Chain A
Amino acid sequence: MARVFFTPQLQRFTATPEVETGAPTLRGALEAAFAVNPRLRGYVLDDQGHLRANVVVFIDGRRCSERVALADPLTAHSRIHVLQALSGG
């Protein structure tokens, strides 16, 4: 099962469940997490369901560059990390 991890920074706003999922794509994996905590959706995705501009996702160490469809394929052992993009000072 693929596993999804969220940055601990999100925990000051909302719960970040660590989920295991058989979803075949990134969007499916994120939906599995949103099913546990629906509030989390608005922190990761914007109004149109796109990845927020300052959120970054890594799948098995590879940074996802496609931010709209979120159709990156997952394997049964994928590790997905949802992080904040570094910015500001």
Chain B
Amino acid sequence: MSSNDRAWVATKKGLFELRRRGPGWAIEHVSFLGEPVSMFLPPATASSRMLASLTTGHYGTKLHASDDAGRSWTEVATPTYPPQPEGAEGPEWKLVLIWALEQVEGRIWAGTLPGGLFLSDDFGGSWQLVESLWNRRERLGWFGGGYPVPGIHSICPHPKHAAELLLGISCGGAWTTRDGGANWELTAKGMRANFMPPELADDPNIQDAHRIVRCAAAPDVLWCQHHGGIWRSTDAAASWHEITTAPVSNFGFAVAVHPGDPDTAWFVPAQADQCRVPVRAAMIVNRTRDGGRSFETLRAGLPQEHAYHLVYRHGLAVAYDGEHLLMASTTGGLWSSADGGNSWRTVSPSLPPAVAVRFG
């Protein structure tokens, strides 16, 4: 089985394993049925460990590990904030949610609400808060986007430099380390938050990057679905430029970039911040294949009448082959494409609310 043939969907009522069957996909297995899964890390190889984060309603966030691709799970250590100093400003030092999990050469990075980044060198056996970022004075300028507290939702490793990592934060812009987390640089110059007071609109530290993804083959190229539109960087986030050509709507949460082609990216727009449904209740995917100079609006196979789906920031994924895509909505729709988004087929119309889709 190649990593293009298996995928996972985290939902508010369990973690669903999918297998590719011919042109479509089938649900193979469900873990944690009934429990909210906020994020997971697929197994990097057939025999390697995977992680899943549960956000139990009463008892807080818990992390589980599986060494048999989700057939059995064991609870492991949960990232825990250190004691909060008396009078410390900012949000309470309490874990709210694990929002991002990435693996880089055996190191696991976890992005959380209220804005802390954690690192594990023993695959979930223990976690350390990355204090070099947490102690930055700028953190106190971050604020929540959709949650009462800020959160790290995107962790973009550099495929050629294990020590380089870019984070996307709602609402805290984008941050880059090039030395494995010892030092951090605010790298959101060029983004603009039109919803903020004019004197703060260009402040890189308060940008609401809904989701940031990096092209594996051209890692200097990053795409961002921002609260206020679409941005792209071609210089490893040293600067960002706005893409204004997206048709129908440029508001949304999800973005995926072709792993081999930095000019090809997909977006799933919603009408607007204040009306988070597809424009005219017809679901679409916007795709550019020329770096954002132009877009195609893809509809084939997607519901075009009375469709009120929202695809959240981690709800769109492209496989390693750049051709297979999966997309899941917060109203439980799941669709697949085998031709780069030209056409879609329904995998399920009735999953629990989905928060994340990943191949692997």
Closest Cβ of chain A to B149, distance in Å, is: 13
Contact between A48 and B83, CB atoms less than 8 A apart: yes
Residue A13 contacts which of B62, B92, B94 (CB distance < 8 angstroms)? B62
List the A side residues contacting B62 at CB < 8 Å.
13, 42-43
Residue A14 contacts which of B75, B81, B93 (CB distance < 8 angstroms)? B75
Asked if A1 CB lies within 8 Å of chain B CBs, one says: no
- A side interface size, CB within 8 A: 19
Contact between A87 and B59, CB atoms less than 8 A apart: no
Contact between A13 and B59, CB atoms less than 8 A apart: yes
Asked if A69 CB lies within 8 Å of chain B CBs, one says: no
Q: Describe A's contact surface by its main secondary structure.
A: loop
Asked if B57 CB lies within 8 Å of chain A CBs, one says: yes
List the B side residues contacting A46 at CB < 8 Å.
60, 94-95
Contact between A87 and B57, CB atoms less than 8 A apart: yes
Interface size class of B (residues with CB under 8 A): 10 to 19
User: A-side interface residues toward B, CB under 8 Å?
Assistant: 9-10, 13-14, 39, 42-44, 46-48, 50, 52, 54-55, 84-85, 87-88
Known contacts A46-B60, A54-B57, A39 near B93 by CB under 8 Å: no
Cα distance A25–B75 in the bound complex, in angstroms: 29
Please report which residues of chain B, range 150-169, place their CB below 8 angstroms from some CB of chain A when the two chains form the complex: none
List the A side residues contacting B84 at CB < 8 Å.
48
Contact between B80 and A52, CB atoms less than 8 A apart: no
Contact between A47 and B94, CB atoms less than 8 A apart: yes
Contact between A47 and B95, CB atoms less than 8 A apart: yes
Known contacts A47-B94, A48-B92, A48-B93, A85 near B81 by CB under 8 Å: no
Closest Cβ of chain A to B208, distance in Å, is: 25
Contact between B59 and A55, CB atoms less than 8 A apart: yes
